[in-house]
Amino acid sequence: MAGQKTEAKSAPANGVPLFKSKVTDLDLKLDNEIVYEFGGPIGVVGMMLGFPSLMYYFWVCLEYHQGKLIVPAVFSMDGIKAFFWNDIWAAIAKDACPTWYAAKIYLGYIFISVILAYTMPGPVVEGLPIPSLQGKRLKYLCNGIAAWYFLLVLSAVLHVTGIFRLTEIIDNFGHIMTIAIMWGFFLTTSVYVMSTILGTNHRMSGNFFYDYFMGACLNPRVGILDLKMWAEIRVPWPILFYISLSCALKQYETRGYVTGPAAFMVLAHFLYVNACQKGEECIPTSWDIFYEKDGFMLIFWNMAGVPFTYCYASIYLMKFEQTTGIAITHSWAFTVFLFTALLAAYYIFDTGNSQKNRFRMEQNGSFIVRNTFPQLPYGHIKNPSYIKTAHGNLLLTDGWWGVVRKPHYTADLVMAISWGLITGFGSFLPYFYFCFFLCVLTHRVTRDMERCAKKYGKDWDRYCERVPYIFVPYVF
């Protein structure tokens, strides 16, 4: 109940006191606070129009101009190719129009992933107390890893038997992207309308555009299926992986082998999907789940933005080879360096997320041991050090979390830049993800730090003194 104090019991097993925290007045206040983000209504309208437009623009650059950025003819400059709007419309009408076949591929995947989310076995974990639900903890069925393995086997069978060749994904990329964009808008609208009808709207600003962007509902659910958690990990990352796999298979079909950079992208995306599924039980305590609402920002970006923009490195490698006949490769030293950087960053990303989330789960009383692959050493800290806050929550100051305040962000960014570097320096597009992600994380850090400073007050100052750097020790 609002206003009740947190209860502390000790859980000697790992030295982390159990805080089955109840919602405080401050939690309620912060959860209901409306602050215009992203430039307010005008900014979000710009983003809702800008994101899909940018996706088409980048797609044209990749598809027809070898990843070179083109400019409208009126701004024509020496050395930079100009385009005419008619050419863009013609390209979209031909190679990115919605088709039934593309709808079958994309929505077929969505359908299968929903069915798997309902039917696959997995543990059920409790989330954090939700202030707007009087402290109720929602339950999450974490069967992502079983669904992921099932999907891998199913797709291998479909490909090998020729029922559905995975190369069809890249052959129909433009069409599928359009279906994903349409689906993103459709799902956002459906969730918004249902939430309004069911009376589950929360933290509404009163401005339709802003609320459509940020979302109306905090936890949309259909039975046991939490739509937000499903959208966060079951859709974007597997589709991204399949796009990269499709590019690599295309190369294999034409060359008879897969080059180092193409294999790198498949590995990079495999690691990301696998990490999300194997550690799914950690996600209910994350900020997206217990604080962010389910609006255009999360839905569109997960349904269309992530899979169809984070894949540019893989597509660029493939297109470059198709148009020049030369596959991009690098020296052994550079290739080994990038593989090492990717794996090292992945290790910190995986164990960093795991250290904090497991610590939080121990505190929350929802910690479970899982043997999903790979369980990396240092992913769970024994008897960790932490700062106890007056709020009741504990702030971890051990492991990677004793080095910087956002170790998982730094590692994620290193992975992101490695996805660009593996393509060389011929195009900006493979670096788009890194640049975009840097902006997202910088903005996220700012929002998060402001919220934590309000929530924890002097304890947050103590924590920042104890862990002074955010991303890189002694630098920033």
Does position 380 bind ligand NDP by CB under 6 A? no
Does position 286 bind ligand NDP by CB under 6 A? yes
d(CA 247, CA 324) in angstroms, rounded, equals: 16
Does position 130 bind ligand NDP by CB under 6 A? no
d(CA 194, CA 138) in angstroms, rounded, equals: 19
Nearest one of 265, 311, 288, 240 to 440, comparing CA atoms: 288
Q: Please, what is the minimum distance in Å from the beta carbon of residue 26 to ligand NDP?
A: 11
Nearest one of 249, 237, 98 to 176, comparing CA atoms: 98
Residue from 216, 452, 459, 460 in contact with ligand NDP (CB under 6 A): 452
Does position 409 bind ligand NDP by CB under 6 A? yes
Q: Please, what is the minimum distance in Å from the beta carbon of residue 98 to ligand NDP?
A: 25
Strand partners, 387: 395
Q: Is the dihedral of CA 223, 229, 234, 235 positive or negative?
A: positive
Contact 132, 218 (CB under 8 A): yes
Rule CB under 6 A: which of 323-362 touch ligand NDP? 349, 353, 356, 360
Residue count, binding to ligand NDP (CB under 6 A): 20
Does position 51 bind ligand NDP by CB under 6 A? no
Does position 395 bind ligand NDP by CB under 6 A? yes
439 CA to centre of own chain = 14
Residue from 444, 464, 466, 469 in contact with ligand NDP (CB under 6 A): 444
Q: Please, what is the minimum distance in Å from the beta carbon of residue 255 to ligand NDP?
A: 30
Question: What does the block give as tokens for 54?
Answer: 């940018």
- Using CB under 6 A, which of the segments 4-12, 109-117, 186-194, 284-292 binds ligand NDP? 284-292
Residue (87 or 288) nearer to ligand NDP, CB: 288
**Residue positions counted in the chain:** 476
Helices 458-466 and 429-456, interaxial angle, to 10°? 130
**DSSP per-residue letters across 422-456:** TT-SS-SHHHHHHHHHHHHHHHHHHHHHHHHHHHH
Does position 33 bind ligand NDP by CB under 6 A? no
Does position 287 bind ligand NDP by CB under 6 A? yes
d(CA 83, CA 335) in angstroms, rounded, equals: 35
Residue (83 or 401) nearer to ligand NDP, CB: 401
Does position 126 bind ligand NDP by CB under 6 A? no
Residue from 151, 191, 408, 470 in contact with ligand NDP (CB under 6 A): 408
Number of CB atoms found within 10 A of residue 256's CB: 7
Which residues form the interface with ligand NDP (CB under 6 A)?
286-288, 349, 353, 356, 360, 393, 395-396, 401, 406, 408-409, 412, 440, 444, 448, 452, 455
